[in-house]
Amino acid sequence: MPNLGYIATTLAFVLAIYAAVVAVVGARRRSPELVASARNAALAVTGLVTIAVIIIEYLLITGHYQTKYVYEVSNRAAPIFYRITALWGGQDGSLLFWSWLMSIFATAVLLRKWGPMRILMPYVMVVTQVTLAFFLGLVVFVANPFEQLSFFPADGAGLNPLLRHWGMIIHPPVLYLGFVGFVIPYAFAIAALTTRQTGDLWIRTTRRWSLIAWMFLSLGLLLGAWWAYDVLGWGGYWGWDPVENASLVPWLIATPFLHSVIMQENRGVLKRWNMALIMMTFVMVIWGTFTTRSGVISSVHSFAQSAIGPLFFGFIAIMFTLSFVLYVWRWDDLKSDNELDSFVSREAVFLLNNLLFTGLAFIVWWGSNFPLFSEALMDEKIVVGPPFFEKTTAPLWAAILILMGIAPLVPWRKASLRRIGNSLFWPAMGGMVVMILLYTIGGIKIIGAVLGFGFCVFTLTATLIEYWRGASARHRSHGESYPVALAKLIARNRRRYGGYLIHIAIILIALGVVGSRFYQVEAQRNLAIGERMTIHSDVVGTYEITYHGLRDGPSPDDRFITEALLTVTYNGKPAGELIPTREFFVVQQQPMTIPDKRSTLADDLYVILAGWEGSGETATFKAYINPLVNWLWIGGLVLMLGTLVAAWPDPQERTRRVTHSAKIPGGAVPAK
């Protein structure tokens, strides 16, 4: 079975190279037969990689510990669920998993009707198959998950205990879907440049791909934050860790891309900017994978150092250089159809928004990779900590939050300042009133928090006004009830109002960040049985935690569990029980601290069992109050809903696309 898996992966690697080469030759010679052969080879790659994935899963489930990878990430005591998900629990398996997802995305593109995109598809194949060949080459030559040990161990070493959490089980696949998803719009962008089809058809074709990839990348970031919050036991969810940032940087570049393509579609501007953004998104996706997989930067998330680092760096350098050369070569073809009419327009607001996002991306990338640069130039690794990121990015985040409220209320092309002022009056009043009330009555005295909450209210009010205006117009013109009018309004313009729903999600996430960042309270105390500790927050209230002793025992798998029994009161009233836990993984000889939480919309009481003496006569507890933190996760759900609304197929949009395609030379090519 391991040999079959390795053979399937090797054949997939060879066929990916074949598909890329033959696709180019077929396009140059205008040979449909060669292009079809390349397409069939690309489809076969997916089948072969799927066989390899099935085989490694079989080896993991059945416990074939002579396979080195199976030995490293699984053992007999592990539940079947963790054996299955161990596929992405180590470096070798995760690279195979990345390749499999990439092959599925490539196949999904090739199986669609090509229609007017027929001229681009050979070059789309080239980009996707070259990328796939690189990752498959790593699997075949450097990180082979089918490698065999010289002996047959009785049991495996087991999965890293940090990964035995549902958040970490879901987080990597979701993040990988975001990463590989952005390869598709990049491939179409390169194909458009190569064939000089630099209009907006490639953007319209890949818009849904970009939205779905962005959604998965966003959810991957939030799931990673949830894992850090729920497992690492430090009371926080984002530590500006280099590997966290490696996933954030592509998001910071892809987000302005999704905004600026609207300008290209509506006004024919920013063609060069959009092309540069999608290229940099692809480069940062591969860079993020390189950072995680190479171990060049120390992180709780990264794998050990390996030989793949230089190979990744070389691939990034080659792809960036080729993309840049092609970009410069087609510079004149990317000239905008129109110019910016006024600095007081929605186009100008979008452009400023884009500049802020790219500024954030550069700051985060520079700070994350500064240890590499300092070591190369000064032979000393200098690590940049969270204070740097917080101080440099906070003003930019605040400006972006404000622009989210301004942009929908500013018309295209040109607007008067008076009109904008009238449109922003009620949102501005709402934000100001909330800030005054929070400062004078609510006890919110930290200026950063007051401003943050005020900006959230400003943008939320502006967004809700847009919904109200649209629903009111339908109510007046069609006589529909407001709920029906709102539903039909969203259904008829899903992209616009789904985007507004995403804005609301970002506001909810911002509320969670502001509340937990400025008003987190921490306390630590050693308690004897029957003693209590108090933790007080000026904005939330007072909790009392009473310790009632420990209970412990083995679990059905390879863990020994110790639980602390606590009762909680909130402002003097009973508020339930908490059971923070310490798990000791016998095989790995590694402890894990699992916090317990009392969660409400207002706050989390987050308690950790830090240690104990004897059989639990006394124990040390660390407790946090995290105000509004759960709005991060609620915002994530709203974000997913908004993206699905924006990306949902619209029959009218399909009709518009067909009409648009008919106007393009060669657009009436029969569908494949």
pLDDT digits (tens, 9 = 90+) for 251-265: 999 999 999 888 888
Predicted pLDDT of residue 653: 56
- Give the Cα separation of 319 and 232 in Å (integer): 36
Q: Which two tokens stand for residue 82?
A: 């963790």
DSSP 145-159: TT-B-SS--SS----
Predicted pLDDT of residue 664: 43
pLDDT (tens digit per residue) in 544-588:
999 999 998 777 777 889 999 999 999 999 999 999 999 888 877
- Give the Cα separation of 107 and 118 in Å (integer): 15
Give 296's pLDDT tier (boundaries 50, 70, 90): low
pLDDT (tens digit per residue) in 592-642:
889 999 999 999 999 999 999 988 999 999 999 999 999 999 999 999 999
Continuous segment of H or E residues that includes residue 591: strand 590-594
Instruction: Read off the pTM.
Output: 0.91
Count of residues in the chain: 672
Give 183's pLDDT tier (boundaries 50, 70, 90): very high
DSSP 208-262: HHHHHHHHHHHHHHHHHHHHHHHHS-SS-S----HHHHHHHHHHHHHHHHHHHHH
- Give the Cα separation of 309 and 107 in Å (integer): 28
Compute the mean pLDDT over every residue in the chain, rounded to the nearest whole number: 89
Give 660's pLDDT tier (boundaries 50, 70, 90): very low
Residue 159 has pLDDT above 90, yes or no: no
Give 661's pLDDT tier (boundaries 50, 70, 90): very low
- Give the Cα separation of 672 and 32 in Å (integer): 11
Section 338-365 average pLDDT: 88
Number of other CB atoms surrounding residue 623 within 10 Å: 25
DSSP 51-62: HHHHHHHHHHHH
Nearest to 543 by CA among 600, 594, 605, 597: 605
Give 668's pLDDT tier (boundaries 50, 70, 90): very low
pLDDT (tens digit per residue) in 162-173:
788 777 788 889
Q: Is the CB of residue 285 less than 8 Å from the CB of residue 179?
A: yes
The pairing of strands 590-594 and 581-585 is: antiparallel
Predicted pLDDT of residue 411: 82
Number of other CB atoms surrounding residue 397 within 10 Å: 16
Residue 667 has pLDDT above 50, yes or no: no
CA distances from 293 to 96, 128, 177, 250, 286 (A): 12, 20, 16, 16, 10
Share of the chain above pLDDT 90, in %: 65
CA distances from 259 to 211, 278, 420 (A): 11, 12, 20
More confident residue, 670 or 204: 204
Tell me the backbone φ, ψ of residue 666, rounded to 5 degrees: 80, 0
Q: What is the DSSP letter of 112?
A: S
Section 138-151 average pLDDT: 94
Q: Identify the CATH number of the domain defined by range 521-630.
A: 2.60.98
What residues contact residue 343 under an 8 Å CB cut-off, 6+ apart? Answer: none
What's the burial of 344, exposed, middle or buried (CB within 10 Å: 0-12/13-18/19+)?
middle
Q: Which two tokens stand for residue 466?
A: 């847009």
* Structural Rg of the chain based on CA atoms: 27
Tell me the backbone φ, ψ of residue 299, rounded to 5 degrees: -165, 150
What residue type is assigned to position 197 of the chain?
Answer: Q
Residue 465 has pLDDT above 90, yes or no: yes
Q: Which two tokens stand for residue 668?
A: 């009436």
Where does the chain hold its CATH 2.60.98 domain(s)? 521-630
Predicted pLDDT of residue 587: 77
Using CA atoms in the order 180, 186, 190, 192, what is the torsion angle rounded to 10 degrees? 120
Residue 666 has pLDDT above 70, yes or no: no
Residue 6 has pLDDT above 70, yes or no: yes
Q: Is the CB of residue 197 less than 8 Å from the CB of residue 236?
A: no
What residue type is assigned to position 282 of the chain?
Answer: F
Q: Which two tokens stand for residue 58?
A: 């079989």
Residue 671 has pLDDT above 50, yes or no: no
Residue 434 has pLDDT above 60, yes or no: yes
Section 188-211 average pLDDT: 91
Residue 299 has pLDDT above 60, yes or no: no
Residue 654 has pLDDT above 70, yes or no: no
**Which regions of 494-586 does DSSP assign to beta strands (E)?**
521-528, 532-537, 541-554, 559-570, 573-578, 581-585
Nearest to 494 by CA among 655, 646, 638, 656: 646
Nearest to 672 by CA among 42, 33, 112, 20: 112
- Give the Cα separation of 336 and 371 in Å (integer): 39
* Segment among 101-110, 195-204, 562-571, 601-610 with least mean pLDDT: 195-204
DSSP 373-416: HHHHHHSS-----HHHHHHHHHHHHHHHHHHHHHGGGSPSS---
CA distances from 318 to 26, 124, 273, 324, 325 (A): 23, 17, 21, 10, 11
Q: Could you identify the residue written with the tokens 């550069």?
A: 362
Quick check: helix, strand or coil at residue 544?
A: strand
Section 343-369 average pLDDT: 91
